Amino acid sequence: MSNRAVFIYQNAFSQTGGIQTFNKYFISALEKIKNTHAGMTAELVGIYDNEKDVKTSLPFQTLGSSKLGAFTHIIKNAKRFDTFIFAHVNLAPLAIALRLLNPKARIIFCTHGIEIWKKLPRATEWIMNRSTVLTVSSFSMDELKKYNPRLKDIRLFPNCIKVKENISELSNPFDPKNFNILSVTRLSKTERLKGIDTVIKALPMIKEKIPNVKYSVIGKGDDVERLKKLADDLSVSEYVNFLGFVDDIDAYYQHSDIFTLPSKKEGFGIVYLEAMQYKKPVIAVNYGGPTDVIVDGETGYLCEYDDAACLAEKIVRLHEDSALSKQIGEAGYVRLIEQFTFEKFTQNLQYVLMGS
């Protein structure tokens, strides 16, 4: 049983992204457990978060983006906590230092996806073999075990969202005359496996069946110009809208017709859950974390990576069969409620920390 826990993470509040969202939910779950269990304490150490951005009731310390400061903090507090939770495998050097200073400390690692789909460096494997390792999907767990078979304590720890109750009707940001396809992701040159180009390559096939199709992409990054050129080269620029960052993303989820992110590098994919909350049919890739979230043909569709023809066929099928689209959207919502709520996430964390 853990009585004194500290969560050491890179950032949660000062940047956006899947891991940052996971960290925010993790912090919220720690708050809830600490507030309902007398005698338990929990604190936070954010390496890159700006203090003004942090929203938490837990004691918090920022390290001002200083990696040296992170080591100093570990040295000063090695005996102060009995459980140290590291938010990413990249923090393994801190955990190694901690293990040398306090051999009895319990160490927990949160892992997410592509960073563990490989053979880990020897030192990282050494410390993770002496830790509890949480993985957000069965796929990530299997990949971690495949390349690092000596690891002893690996546990499935699915991601979540906080499901909104009594969702109100939001103002429609789309042209209602269009059939609106939505993607939400970072558009970085280093993350081209996100599959936005696959959707663009599918549009020439889709527009033949759905002349009023419009593909909207929410997200910023340095790969936008390449994607715009691809759309121009395929003569589908008029069907694509790059929206950049938006404030009210829920309105886009609510009023889209289909959500897709045919990405090959999702350790889990919170965006699928966010779309499923609004009972939208989702289309992803038959690889990585989405295979935990989406049951192909029941709660969404899975295509092979970069299979534009498959993607186009699924989108056209859902457009032509509104009853099927509604059925799949509702089944996805049921799966979300049954498996991926914040309440279940908190229960899982409580079990990891306290065994109950």
CATH 3.40.50.2000 residue ranges for the chain: 4-160+341-354, 179-339
Radius of gyration of the chain (CA): 21
pTM: 0.90
Query: By C-alpha distance, which of 201, 209, 320, 333 is closest to 262?
Result: 201
d(CA 85, CA 284): 31
CATH fold for the domain made of 4-160+341-354: Rossmann fold (3.40.50)
Report which secondary-structure segment, H or E, holds 200.
Answer: helix 196-209
**Per-residue pLDDT for the chain (356 aa), expressed as one digit of tens each?**
558 999 999 999 988 888 999 999 999 999 999 999 888 899 999 999 988 899 999 999 998 888 888 899 899 999 999 999 999 999 999 999 999 999 999 999 999 989 999 999 999 999 999 999 999 999 999 999 999 999 999 999 999 999 988 788 899 999 999 999 999 998 998 888 999 999 999 999 999 999 999 999 999 999 999 999 999 999 999 999 999 999 889 999 999 999 999 999 888 889 999 999 999 999 999 999 999 999 999 999 999 999 999 999 999 999 999 999 999 999 999 999 999 999 999 999 999 998 86
CATH T-level topology, domain 179-339: Rossmann fold (3.40.50)
